[in-house]
Structures are given as C-alpha cells and as structure tokens.
Amino acid sequence: MVDHLKVVILDLDEVARVWSNPKLIFYSHNETLNHMDWETIRTRDKKFYKGILFCKFDHKLEVLFSPHYYRNADVHNADDFTALDCIQTINSLIEVFKIDDEEKWQIINMEYGLNFVMPNYGRDLVTFTEYWKKTPFYNDTELAYSKKSYSVKRNGTANTFKIIKMYCKSSQFPNHCEPNTVRIEIKSKQSRYINSIGIKHIGHLLELSIYHRMKGEILQLSKDLLILDHKTKFTNLDIRQTRKLKDYLNSHTWYSSLQKNANEFYKKKMRYFDLLNKTGRNIHVDLQSLIAEKIENLCTGKIEKGLNSTALLRTEKGLNSTNNIIGISTLLAIPRKYCIITKRKLHSKDVGSPYARTSTLKCLQKENPQEFEKLKTTLIPENKKRKPKYEQSIIAWLAKQIRNRYYNSKRKKKRESPKLGSQPTSRQRKLSKAYGM
C-alpha cells in the first residue's frame, strides 16, 4: 500500500531527541547560500537508518521513509505489501525511535499504490494507457515503461496535488516479481490532498480505516483511466463499427476532442467502451475487476490469517500512546460495525464509517420504527421539532445531526488536550513550505 512518506518535524525538542539517537549514521553535511538572503548560509545535515533518510535543517527535521522498501531491507518493492504489513512497519518505526507523540511527525508527501499482474499485457498496458480523466500521461524518464499523469499549471510546472503513476514493475525488478507485473500509484506533495483522506501525522497510518480510504481512491482511479487497447480484435463488429473503433484507437482523436467542448471527450469515451464491449473484450472492465480483487486482498485478505500472529494494531482509545497497542484480534482488525454516536449497528454500506449514515437510518426506520422514533427524540432538540429547514428529508437531517456530533466531539477533545513542546512559529511554517525537497 504505502510506498513512500515524507515526514516533517517542526518541534525543536523532538528534532533534538530524534537527531541524537545513536542508531542514526552520519551521511553528509551541506552548506549553501539562502537564495532569499545571500548573506545567510543554509545548512543541511543528513543521517540514515536502514534506508530511512533524516535531513536536519536549522528549523526542522525531514524524514524520508519508504515502508515497502524498509520491509524488504531496502532492496525492492515488487512484492505485495498489505495494509497489515504497512501497519507493522510503521509501528516498528515508532518503537525504534520511541515516538510518544505522533502528531509531531506530520506527513507532507505521500505515495501509495499496488502491484498487480495483467496477463499478456505488462509493458503494453503502460504503453496503451493514455489518459486519467482528461489529463494525459507523460513519459517518465526515471524508469523504463513508466508514465505519469498530472495537470500543468499556467506557469508550465506540474501540479503536485495529485500525480498518477503507472509503470512496469517486472522491467524494474525482474527477479523479484512475476512477468507482466504492473504498479499503479497515487502520489501527492500537498498536505491538502493527504489530509482529505484522513492522514495528518504518522499515527494515522496505524488505523485500518485509513487504508480503506486509500482503497476507494485506487478503485476510483482504475475507473478513470482511458486505455487504447491495440490488441483489440474486431470481432462482432460491422464495417462502420470497425472503422469507428480504429478511429478511437488513434490518440489524435482524443486530443482533438479535448479542444472542443468539455463533454465531447466523455461522449467519445462511452462510445469507445460500447464498441469494446461488442468485441467481447473491454480491457477497462478486466482491469477494474483485477484491481478491485487485488486491493480487497491487500486491505482485508490477510487479516484473518494474522489473527493468531504477533502483529500489532493501535486501539481506538490509544491513538495518542504507543503503549496502548493490542493484538491483531482487536475490533480494529475488522472495519467498524457500530456507530460511535448512537451505538447502533451499521448497515453493510456504512461498515467502516465511524458514525451512522443514511443507509443505516433508512434500514432502522424500515425494520424498527419505534427505535427510529426514539432516535429522533434523542438527536433533535425540543425547540426544533419542525420539518428540516435545509435537508430534503428527516433521514438526511438525522444523518447531519449524527455527523455534527461526531466532529464536534473530536474538536472538543482537541481543544482540551494539553499542548506538548514548543510550537512552530509562523516563520517556521513559511520556511517549511518554501524549502521542500
């Protein structure tokens, strides 16, 4: 799952504690002039530990950590790396460096993805993939048979909010994986995207629910790809359909459609998919099915096998303490099945969510009307026993009440929690953004 992390520590006490760890080995020392102030020398020292690179600046410490490589002794990332494997690896890092407050280890860059085998394709799958949504794939010179998809800003630079990467892993590590192994990744260098999937600090990567969010992102990614399958056989098509499909297999057709109105690209995409379905082989359907099965196994497939192992997970009550860790047989090994607010069982569509949503409320209204009325009385104050003002139904209103109670309780805990250590100044925050590696 998680392939690479860039962590920043701004708390100077934590920086000093980590930097003085005897396990770290000196790597290099650099001095450069600050490009914003030519009279100021900027220093950067580097140390490492088993492939983890620690870069110390005057005001912060950056940690470059690749959990998948770390698990494989920094040799490769060509095998399967499950959510459970990642949790164990992150927990190992926390134990080695005795991290008591994970909130000080803020995640600012992240890459996650999966390896899968596409029979009879491999390199061809990378070659044939042209677009993610309406964003083209560009050749990546770092690896053979590798492409990246990202939007371009007005000044010509890449938008690092969300970068999609696809490359042939069997070309990179032929001795460590099966032929035709492809890797697909989502990469972001912006906290805004990383925070949107529930990740702010390294402790969040000990929660299994986070990996289910990553699963959803990867599944959606597979649905947004456009692959021009030049191995398509023109069976079951008449002359006109064959000519049309050949036109769709031309990359210039798609570039031209983007120069027209916004809907032209998606209209052609639907027609292209229809023609592929008529041939009896739509590579998009096969790929989505393959990735869905593989990502499900990575997130939950090995959980049952690890029930009696010594694998560790963080409990819900112990997110801020490395001492409150229990075995894999805890409830967190399985997606949450009960609402934190109402304490009622979640509907199958809501399993994994911390609180009840509309599916759970609809099911409760249908199967147990008395319990549903009792819930209404509990959630809606006496002075608001009227119809909802903004929501379209009572179900949506109750769902909003539950959601608000959940996030309000989290904000209250955050306000009441004591602040540990020195806090970064506004200047330190600006410098942290200015000097990205």
Q: What is the largest CA-CA distance in the chain?
A: 74
Task: Give ∠ CA 232-288-164 in degrees, rounded to 5.
Answer: 95
Question: What distance in Å separates the CA atoms of residue 249 and residue 272, rounded to the nearest whole number?
Answer: 9
Q: What integer pLDDT is reported at residue 135 of this predicted model?
A: 95
Residue 332 or 386, more confident: 386
Question: What distance in Å separates the CA atoms of residue 172 and residue 145, rounded to the nearest whole number?
Answer: 9
Single-letter residue type at 147: K
Single-letter residue type at 72: N
Residue 311 pLDDT exceeds 50:
no
CA dihedral (232, 234, 237, 242) in degrees, to 10, reads: 90
Question: What distance in Å separates the CA atoms of residue 7 and residue 96, rounded to the nearest whole number?
Answer: 16
Question: What distance in Å separates the CA atoms of residue 282 and residue 222, rounded to the nearest whole number?
Answer: 13
Backbone angles phi, psi at 24, to 5 degrees: -75, 140
Question: What distance in Å separates the CA atoms of residue 104 and residue 123, rounded to the nearest whole number?
Answer: 41
DSSP assignment of 357-370, as one string? Answer: -HHHHHHHHHH-HH
Question: What distance in Å separates the CA atoms of residue 214 and residue 112, rounded to the nearest whole number?
Answer: 8
Residue 348 or 119, more confident: 119
Question: What distance in Å separates the CA atoms of residue 164 and residue 188, rounded to the nearest whole number?
Answer: 9
pLDDT tens digit string along 46-64? Answer: 999 999 999 999 889 999 9
Percent of the chain with pLDDT over 70: 80
Q: How far is CA 257 from CA 58, 116, 267, 372, in A?
A: 51, 31, 9, 51
Per DSSP, what are the bridge partners of residue 139? 147
CB-count exposure of residue 233 (10 Å: 0-12, 13-18, 19+): exposed
The whole-number average pLDDT for the span 206-229 is 94
Residue 337 contacts by C-beta under 8 Å, 6 or more apart in sequence? 345, 346, 351
Is pTM beyond 0.85? Reply is no
Q: Which two tokens stand for residue 233?
A: 């056989």
Residue 267 pLDDT exceeds 50:
yes
Residue 289 — very low, low, confident or very high, per pLDDT cuts 50/70/90?
very high
Residue 380 — very low, low, confident or very high, per pLDDT cuts 50/70/90?
confident
Axis-axis angle for helices 283-296, 208-223 (nearest 10): 170
Q: How far is CA 380 from CA 392, 398, 408, in A?
A: 16, 8, 16
Question: What distance in Å separates the CA atoms of residue 324 and residue 330, rounded to the nearest whole number?
Answer: 12
Residue 437 pLDDT exceeds 50:
no
